[in-house]
Structure 1
Amino acid sequence: MTFYKKAMLAVAGAAMLASAAVNAETIEVKGQGVKFVPDVIHAKVGDVISFRNMATHFVESVEGMWPEDAPKMLSSMGADYDYTVEKEGLYVFKCPPHWGARMGGIMVVGEPADLSATIDKYLQVADTVKEAKPAKGLLNKFKESQK
């Protein structure tokens, strides 16, 4: 590939990223009691998920319920946190101190291929991995809403 073609590809890629940033939205999620509000988020690549009112909370990815190669979530206790979405897919996150009370959320980014199969896969994780079990109710509620 010539230098000119490489340069043009680089410029085109930068333009696409800039376009995504211009169209990005900030979606606010609040820690309220032992719930995230909203607990289901619909986002697109480039959006920023802004966790606020996190005085007694923090946010973390649920292992086994995250798109492959997507950056994990992990904030500090009591701190506001911004997560920029980089990949389409289905994400499940939690507040570790309140996970036993089912404080978690689901984020759907874009239009993931075979969403139903991904939900079923995550439900199997919830059935077999003790740390993921609190996600089961949230996933079942989400699955019902997809019908």
Structure 2
Amino acid sequence: MVNIKSALLSVTLILALTFSAITIAQTHIIKSIGTAFNPIIVFAEPGDTITWINMPAHNTKSINGLIPQAAKPWQSQMGQDFSVTLEEEGIYLYECNPHLSFGMAGAIVVGEPKNLAELEKKVNYTHGAIQRVFRKTKEAIATTGQ
């Protein structure tokens, strides 16, 4: 006959081990302040959601060719808060279309920056604001040891 206490302990242990292996996705908030995104660089994990808020005269748009190859591009509506869930590992560079000339761009690093070398080759042919964000992203990656 199975001891009820032993059975409950076994079930509890199995559930604890199962749920400890599951990572809970996070939501990262990026706020537009004037003509800047804050924070300018976000570190996330695959499956995390990125939400842009306080977007009265802004949008967010992934930059063609400057996101992981298998990733889905996005473009929000002007003046609306927006969320996207990112699954592919790598660096995502994005901009606010009407304010890129003011330097309004940002980066999201999801998991490992697998496309760093590829972006290194492409970013030199982009707007100065994108180059600046990429340079800051590389520095942040070096600091975090990714």
TM range (shorter): 0.7 to 0.9
**Equivalent in 104, 119, 122 of residue 119 of structure 2:** 122
Matches for 1:30-109 after TM superposition, within 5 Å: 30-109=31-110
| Contact 1:29–1:49 under 8 Å retained in 2 | yes
Moved over 3 A (4+): 118-121
Residue deviations 1:90-135 (CA, integer Å, cap 9, x gap): 110100100111111111101233xxxx445324323224xx4430
Q: Which residue of structure 2 lines up, in the alignment, with residue 135 of structure 1? A: 130
Work out which of the two has the higher radius of gyration on C-alpha atoms and give 1 or 2: 2
Code of the aligned partner of 1:121: E
Give 3-state SS (helix, strand or coil) of 1:134's partner: helix
Structural RMSD (CA):
1.9
Following superposition, the deviation at residue 44 of structure 1 comes to 0.7
| Contact 2:36–2:105 under 8 Å retained in 1 | yes
Following superposition, the deviation at residue 141 of structure 1 comes to 2.0
Matched length: 122
Percent identity of the aligned residues? 32
| Contact 2:64–2:73 under 8 Å retained in 1 | no
Q: Distance in 2 between matches of 1:93 and 1:41?
A: 12
Q: Which residue of structure 2 lines up, in the alignment, with residue 5 of structure 1? A: none
- Length-normalised TM-score, structure 1: 0.75
**Runs of at least 5 residues in structure 1 that lack an aligned partner in the other structure:** 1-14
Code of the aligned partner of 2:63: V
Residue deviations 1:47-96 (CA, integer Å, cap 9, x gap): 11011000010000112211012111210000010101111111101001
- Length-normalised TM-score, structure 2: 0.75
